[in-house]
Amino acid sequence: MFVRGLKRKCFDGEEDIEGTLAGIKAIPSYNLQRQSLLDMSLVKLQLCHMLVEPNLCRSVLIANTVRQIQEEMTQDGTWQMINTQSTGQASLDRLVSTDILCRSSRDQAEGKHIAAYGTFNKDFESDQAQDGSETMSTASSVQAPRNLQSNVWEMENPQENKGNFQKSLDQIFETLENKSPNSVEDLFSEVDNSYYDLDTMLTGMMSNTKMGHCDSLETFSSPTNTASNSNCKSDLNDLDHIVEILVES
Amino acid sequence: ADIISTVEFNHSGELLATGDKGGRVVIFQQEQENKTQSHSRGEYNVYSTFQSHEPEFDYLKSLEIEEKINKIRWLPQKNAAQFLLSTNDKTIKLWKISERDKRPEGYNLKEEDGRYRDPTTVTTLRVPVFRPMDLMVEASPRRIFANAHTYHINSISINSDYETYLSADDLRINLWHLEITDRSFNIVDIKPANMEELTEVITAAEFHPNSCSTFVYSSSKGTIRLCDMRASALCDRHSKLFEEPEDPSNRSFFSEIISSISDVKFSHSGRYMMTRDYLSVKIWDLNMENRPVETYQVHEYLRSKLCSLYENDCIFDKFECCWNGSDIVMTGSYNNFFRMFDRNSKRDITLEASRENNKPRTVLKPRKVCASGKRKKDEISVDSLDFNKKILHTAWHPKENIIAVATTNNLYIFQDKMN
């Protein structure tokens, strides 16, 4: 399938692909195209959080498209999981979960405990609020592989996430203390307010996506890429730090 | 705010209602036919304008509720007044539109301007009489059906019993009684227990024109479910499922998106229903579930452009469609084009709704889009189509060959040549 009307990005990467992804019979740029499509879709999903409620139908369709691409990439074998933990498999499922795809980048960093809240819309049940408290404890173990996934996607700005992660975690903790169903909605309403943040996030994302193809392709070709590993390590350190704070308070 | 968001003729065709993004409803009325000018039907002039919905703010979720009118449906006329239902994302309102062309004069205790007279000055009694006055059309909200939808309402449909109606949002369909505003029955609920598992939403719903217990709803995966309310209170299990198997040769990452049904309409007889997905119009026989009886390509030349259309979000445009009886169907496209398909002769035509290219009272010239290769004279190439000029809403007069076509900001009314 040749998708027309799409700007080719990262021409230098093409030579690399032909050599390293030799197992794939398709035209070399198909993977680039597919990756562009994936990135575009994720950007579209990120724009969910606006002042007016996002169009649910559109979000669902985009999320399904992303899932489809991911499934194909998994089958192709171009999707390489960099993880050693047992929860790795679970996080692959999480990735495919629509919920993740619909979150803003700062929410993605918050990990599994947000998953229960269903960000497609702001309609939360009280039982989901309870789920949140249970899954909090598993946050740290899932966090590592999830962030690794994010690196592969190159969708996030790690600096952003650290700050927002802190803020959002605080909010979550407050919310769960309150233990009222509506406050869970308030959590996201606060996160949504600032257009400035949206712009920064978008700028961060767009610059990342441009580089994304090259970086992600390099990651595919060499799983032991030192650059990505060091990113993981620093993220893990951040996580430990944050989880400590959480536990202490 | 002048963007037209819905167009609907009433049951006699005399009135045409439009709703816009600013929450206003404008109703046009057809002039009475002039007996001397038998070759021209009455023109439509503005009859009434009122603000149906106002913008609201949901404080709980910190989100705005748009005042855009998503749908208008007329009730059949029962007395001198007209009634219509109009809905935005969350609230449905029943409006009464009535005429006043007489007013009482000659009260004993009041002056004409309303001031009370000093009773001691009243020496004789008279009976007040009605005197003619300039026609005044008043719109008043008679019922407000609120707080029943968590998600955005996409359809309303009045039942053939003329007492109940349904409203559908992305995940649920509710049944209302026109007289009761504080309760509704939930008849379809496709919300998964875990929202992460959501992969399909409801895109449109309509009651059968004759059978008051039957309705259909379409989904974002290209399926239509027919439900019978007699089967159970919650119609989560369909009575019929209409779905066409996918064509493997046309498969792409966009297959699901373009299969999403944006509109479903029963034919007037109720034997057929029409669905509109991104590239085509399909006619289904209610007796056959496994494939449509006819498929008409609206703008097949866009199939190779799907990626660009995905990028600029046009692929999510929701086009509506409408019937002329059971024979001709009409739907909109881009570049202010709209298409008609004649089921009997299998002919189709593309027309353009624009002021530049058509003078009033001239016959519309058929248009053609050149998909590839050499462009003939008068043809338009795909790349020069304006995707901002989209015709999403069209309506056909219930009895005559008069159509209403809404471009982004303008309403066009066309009629067929009579002689």
Token representation of residue A121 = 């819309």
Could you give the ipTM of this predicted complex? 0.91
Distance CA B186, CA B198 (A): 19
Q: What is the pLDDT of residue A241?
A: 61
User: How far from the centroid of its chain's Cα atoms is residue B22's Cα?
Assistant: 16
- How high is the pLDDT of residue A238? 59
Are the CB atoms for B170 and B152 separated by under 8 Å? Answer: yes
Sorted by sequence, the CB contacts under 8 Å of residue A25 that are 6+ apart come out as none
- Vertex B413, ends B409 and B415: CA angle to 5°? 160
> Which of A57, A71, A72 to probe the B interface (max B CBs under 10 A)?
A57
Say yes or no to pLDDT of A191 above 70: no
B224's enclosing H/E stretch is strand B224-228
- C-alpha distances in angstroms, B380 versus B297, B319, B335, B386? 17, 21, 10, 11
Q: Looking at this protein, which amino acid is placed at residue A73?
A: M
Task: Return the bridge partners of B28, or none.
Answer: B16, B46
Cβ-defined contacts of B37-43 (< 8 Å, 24+): B39/B418, B39/B419, B40/B418, B41/B400, B41/B402, B41/B415, B41/B418, B43/B413
Cα–Cα distance measured from residue B411 to residue A29, given in angstroms and rounded to the nearest whole number: 45
Residue A139 buriedness (CB in 10 A; 0-12 / 13-18 / 19+): buried
Distances (CA, A) of B55 to A181, B2, B22, B68, B142: 26, 15, 8, 8, 19
Both tokens of B8, joined, read 């609907």
The first and second tokens of residue B101, run together, are 């062309």
**Helical residues (DSSP H) of B47-147, grouped into ranges:** none
Work out the minimum CA distance from A160 to partner chain B, whole angstroms: 23
C-beta atoms of B310 and A99 within 8 A: no
Answer yes or no: do A52 and B63 touch at CB < 8 A: yes
The strand order across the sheet containing B272-276 reads B263-266, B272-276, B280-285, B294-297
Decide: B270 and B261 in contact? Cβ < 8 Å.
Answer: no
Q: What percent of chain A has pLDDT over 90?
A: 10
Q: Looking at the complex, does the CB of residue A1 fall below 8 Å from at least one CB of chain B? A: yes
- Nearest chain B residue to A101 by CA: give it: B196
Partners of residue A194 in chain B, C-beta under 8 Å:
none
Interface residues from chain B to A (CB-CB < 8 Å): 60-64, 66, 89, 150-152, 170-171, 194-201, 203, 220, 252-254, 256-257, 260, 304-308, 310-311, 313, 316
**What DSSP string describes B158-208?**
E-TTSSEEEEE-SSEEEEEETTEEEEEEEEEE---SSGGG----EEEEEE-
User: pLDDT 10s per residue in chain B (419 long)?
Assistant: 689 999 999 999 999 999 999 999 999 999 987 655 655 678 899 999 999 999 999 888 888 899 999 999 999 999 999 999 999 999 999 999 999 999 999 889 888 888 888 888 888 999 999 999 999 999 999 999 999 999 999 999 999 999 999 999 999 999 999 999 999 999 999 999 999 999 999 999 999 999 999 999 999 999 999 999 999 888 888 999 999 999 888 889 999 999 999 999 999 999 999 999 999 999 999 999 999 999 999 999 999 999 999 999 999 999 999 999 989 999 999 999 999 999 999 999 999 998 887 777 778 888 888 877 777 878 889 989 999 999 999 999 999 999 999 999 999 999 987 65
User: Is B61 close to A51, i.e. CB distance below 8 A?
Assistant: no
| pLDDT band with cut points at 50, 70 and 90 for residue A142 | very low
B124 token code pair: 């004789």
Secondary structure element (H or E) that encloses residue A118, with its range: none
Predicted pLDDT at A116? 32
Model pLDDT, residue B7:
98
Q: Which burial class, exposed, middle or buried, applies to B36 when counting CB atoms under 10 A from its CB (0-12, 13-18, 19+)?
A: exposed
Which chain B residues are within 8 Å of A122, Cβ to Cβ? 61, 63
pLDDT at A139: 37
CA atoms within 13 A on the CB side of B217: 32
Mean pLDDT of A19-38: 68
| Distant-in-sequence, close-in-space partners of A195: CB < 8 Å, separation ≥ 6 | none
Return the closest-CA partner of residue A37 out of A69, A76, A80.
Answer: A69
Is B151 within 8 Å of A121 when comparing Cβ atoms?
A: yes
End-to-end Cα, chain B, rounded Å: 39
Which range of A21-35, A47-61, B2-16, B30-44 scores highest in mean pLDDT? It is: B2-16
Better-scored residue on pLDDT, A146 or B414: B414
Are the beta carbons of A52 and B66 separated by less than 8 Å? Answer: yes
Spatial distance between the Cα atoms of B229 and B214, rounded to a whole number of angstroms:
6
Q: Which positions in chain B touch A193 (Cβ < 8 Å)?
A: 62
Q: What is the DSSP letter of A51?
A: S
Average pLDDT in chain A: 51
Closest chain A residue to the Cα of B251, Cα to Cα: A1
What's the pLDDT at A240? 60
Structure tokens at B261: 């049904």
Q: How far apart are CA A16 and CA A214, in angstroms?
A: 10
Hey, which bits of B325-390 come out as E strands?
Answer: 328-332, 337-342, 348-352, 368-370, 379-381
CB B261 within 8 A of CB B276: yes
Residue B354: Cβ-neighbour burial (10 angstroms; 0-12, 13-18, 19+): middle
Nearest one of B345, B346, B342, B349 to B325, comparing CA atoms: B342
Which A-chain residues 207-226 have CB contacts (< 8 A) with chain B?
none
Q: Which two tokens stand for residue A164?
A: 């927002």
Residues of B whose CB is below 8 A from A192: 62
Cα A150 from chain centre? 5
CB contact under 8 A, A61 and B195: no
A39-68 residues touching B, CB cutoff 8 A: 40, 44, 51-53, 55-58, 60-61, 63-65, 68
Which range among A164-178, A180-194, B74-88, B236-250 has the greatest average pLDDT?
B74-88
In this prediction, residue B362 carries a pLDDT of 79
Question: Is A69 in contact with B253 (Cβ distance < 8 A)?
Answer: yes
Domain ranges in chain B are 1-57+76-102+131-146
Residue B313, token pair as written in the block: 């979000």
Q: Do A52 and B62 touch (CB under 8 A)?
A: no
- Both tokens assigned to B350: 């593309």
Nearest-Cα residue of chain A relative to residue B221 = A61
- For residue B313, the chain A residues in CB contact (below 8 A) are 44, 58
pLDDT per position as a tens digit, A68-125: 999 998 887 765 543 333 344 443 443 444 443 444 333 433 433 333 333 343 333 3
A61 vs B200: CB contact, 8 Å cut-off? no
pLDDT of residue B377: 79
DSSP state of B116: B
Contact: A193, B62; criterion CB under 8 Å? yes
Task: Search chain A and give the residue with CA nearest B311.
Answer: A40
